[in-house]
Chains A and B, each alone.
Chain A
Amino acid sequence: MNIAILSGKGGTGKTTISTNLAVMAGGNYIDCDVEEPNGFIFLNPSDLKKEEVKVDYPVINDNNCTLCGDCAKVCQFNALVRTKKNIILFDKLCHSCHACKIVCKYEAISFKKREIGIIEEGKYNNIICKRGILNIGEPMAVPVIKDVLKDLPNGINFIDCAPGTSCNVVNSLSYADGAILVTEPSAFGLHDLNMAVNLVRNFHIPFGVIINKYNPKDNRIQKYCQKENIKILGTINYSRKVAETYSSGKMIIEIEEYKKAFKEIVKNLKEVFPWN
């Protein structure tokens, strides 16, 4: 069972929730926020294995190339340019779609692979921790995300997704059997939660909401969830202690009060997401 953890807005505490929840529920932690994978700071898994993520890029064989420019014309991403002397590739714009090879009449195009990121896998106590890391300067995260998700361990996997509702999140969601939406009680939080809800509904999977930085005086999220008939899985209070624990890289379930809150969430999870 794969449960994706999303947040419309950045900085809502998605990673905090994912890591603590994984440990509390005895599930695996999968970090798909490959542009900023921060979960390992808290879990610090041991026995790390690393694997490269590679993508195809076209290589022009100058002996065969007639400089007809068809490859540059067909490329929808402006990754190829024909100058008077040669064909120039902008590898970071290339989507590895192979359209250039299909269109080339002179068999002048072949493919090589280049690294755009890595995948790391290790253990924290009994749970498996896996993450993708996109190399700095690389624009396309989706191939890394797909590589992380194509081969997941057995059991419950908590998938920490990128913030927002971009195609990175869409790709992560297509591997999920359920979703948890993390939000905070503010106008921004509600606005961006609504965007995330609209996204998840496209996937027809069960989902619930966790309110982080909970403030008992502000019930706008509860009202919204009631109206939309969305289950609230739990609330996490905001306190200076949490901020300090977080900034020192520790798990917040080390604090008794928060351990209780996460226990409660795990209980509620089992109602929303059927698993054994």
Chain B
Amino acid sequence: MKIAVSSIGKNLDDMVDIRFGRCNYFIIYDTDKGFIKAIANRGQVSGGGAGIAAAQQIIDEDVDAVITGNMGPNSFNLFKTSDIKVYSCGSMKVERAIELLKEQKLEEISQAGPAHAGMGARRGFRGGR
């Protein structure tokens, strides 16, 4: 099984970044082959739609599961359509989160929360960027 974990750093002993869309890196890990690589999150540098940019990147990596802390409904629905499972964990090392997943101790997010008004607002997000 191929897994992507949102991470503060590039290594397995770095902490999980609990933000999905704006995390620093994704660590790509294979349960058979071990650590594959760390990729910089493109969502972090995008003005808007960070979660979507991040999700596109993960979908392109062809993973089976994602581990992160928080995820907005846009990204979640993309993973659902792509048959990628999403697991939620708290603040811990990436390797620990992967272990917990292997032991089936991580909670799978199976339902999207309320959409955050589709990125829109009456005040605030004015330019759409």
Direct contact of A and B (CB under 8 A): yes
Which residues in A have some Cβ–Cβ distance to B below 8 Å?
10, 35-36, 72, 77-79, 81-86, 88, 90, 92-93, 95, 134, 136-142, 162, 166-168
Q: Which B residues, 71 to 129, have Cβ-Cβ distances below 8 Å to chain A?
A: 74, 78, 81-82, 117-123, 125-129
Cβ A36 vs Cβ B122 within 8 A: yes
Give the chain B neighbours of A92 by CB distance below 8 A.
118-120, 128
Option from B49, B50, B81 in Cβ contact (under 8 Å) with A83: B81
Chain A nearest CB, measured from B128 CB (Å): 4
Q: A35-B126, A78-B56, A83-B59 are in contact. List 16 more A-B contacts (CB 8 A).
A: A10-B123, A77-B128, A77-B129, A79-B49, A82-B56, A82-B60, A83-B81, A84-B82, A86-B81, A90-B119, A93-B48, A137-B120, A139-B121, A142-B127, A167-B127, A168-B126
B55 within 8 A of partner (CB): yes
Q: Are B52 and A168 in contact (CB under 8 A)?
A: no
**Please, how many angstroms separate the alpha-carbon atoms of A93 and B126 in the complex?**
12
Note all chain B residues with C-beta closer than 8 A to A166: 126-127
Q: Which of B55, B82, B118 touches A139 (beta carbons < 8 Å)?
A: B118
Complex Cα gap A139–B74 (Å) = 15
7 CB < 8 A contacts A-B: A83-B82, A139-B48, A139-B118, A139-B119, A141-B126, A166-B126, A167-B127
Task: Decide if B46 is an interface residue (CB 8 Å cutoff).
Answer: yes
| Chain A residues with CB below 8 A from B119, complex form | 90, 92-93, 139
Q: Contacts of B128 on A, CB cut-off 8 Å?
A: 77, 92-93, 95, 139-140, 142
Q: A140-B128, A166-B126, A166-B127 are in contact. Are A78 and B121 (CB under 8 A)?
A: no
B117 to chain A, nearest CB (A): 5
The count of chain B contact residues (Cβ–Cβ below 8 Å) is 26
Identify the closest chain A residue to B79 (Cβ): A83
Q: What's the least CB distance linking A11 to chain B, in Å? A: 11
Answer yes or no: B12 CB below 8 A from chain A CBs: no
Given A77-B49, A78-B53: A90 and B74 within 8 A (CB)? Answer: yes
Query: Are A36 and B81 in contact, CB atoms less than 8 angstroms apart?
Result: no
B125: chain A residues within 8 A (beta carbon) = 139
How many residue pairs, one in A and one in B, have C-beta atoms under 8 Å apart?
84
- A77, A78, A86, A138 — most chain B CB neighbours (10 Å): A78
Contact in complex: B126, A90 (CB < 8 Å): no
Partner of B49, one of A36, A84, A93, A138: A93
In the complex, which of the residues B46, B48, B78, B129 contacts A81, with contact meaning CB atoms closer than 8 Å? B78
A83 / chain B contacts, CB cutoff of 8 Å: 59, 78, 81-82
Q: Provide the residues of chain B in CB contact with A139, threshold 8 Å.
A: 48, 118-121, 125-126, 128
Q: How far is the CB of B79 from chain A (nearest CB, A)?
A: 9
Nearest A-chain residue to B118, judged by Cβ:
A92
Which chain B residues border A136 with CB–CB below 8 Å? 117, 120, 122
Do B56 and A90 touch across chains, with their CB atoms under 8 A apart? no
| Chain A hits for B49, CB < 8 A | 77-79, 90, 93
Closest CB of chain A to B46's CB: distance in Å?
6
Q: How far is the CA of A81 from the CA of B80 in the complex (A)?
A: 13
Cα–Cα, bound, A142→B125 (Å): 12
Query: In the bound complex, how far is the Cα of B127 from the Cα of A167, in angstroms?
Result: 6
Chain A nearest CB from B73 CB (Å) reads 11
Residues of B within 8 A of A84 (CB): 59, 82
A88–B74 CA distance with the chains assembled, in angstroms = 11
| B52 cross-chain contacts in A, Cβ below 8 A | 78-79, 81, 90, 93
Chain A CB within 10 A, most for which of B81, B118, B128: B128
Contacts of B117 in A (CB 8 A): 136-137
Q: Which partner residue on chain B sits nearest A91 by CB separation?
A: B118
Instruction: Among A36, A82, A83, A134, find the residue whose CB has the most chain B CB atoms closer than 10 A.
Output: A83
Give complex CA distance A10, B122 in Å. 13
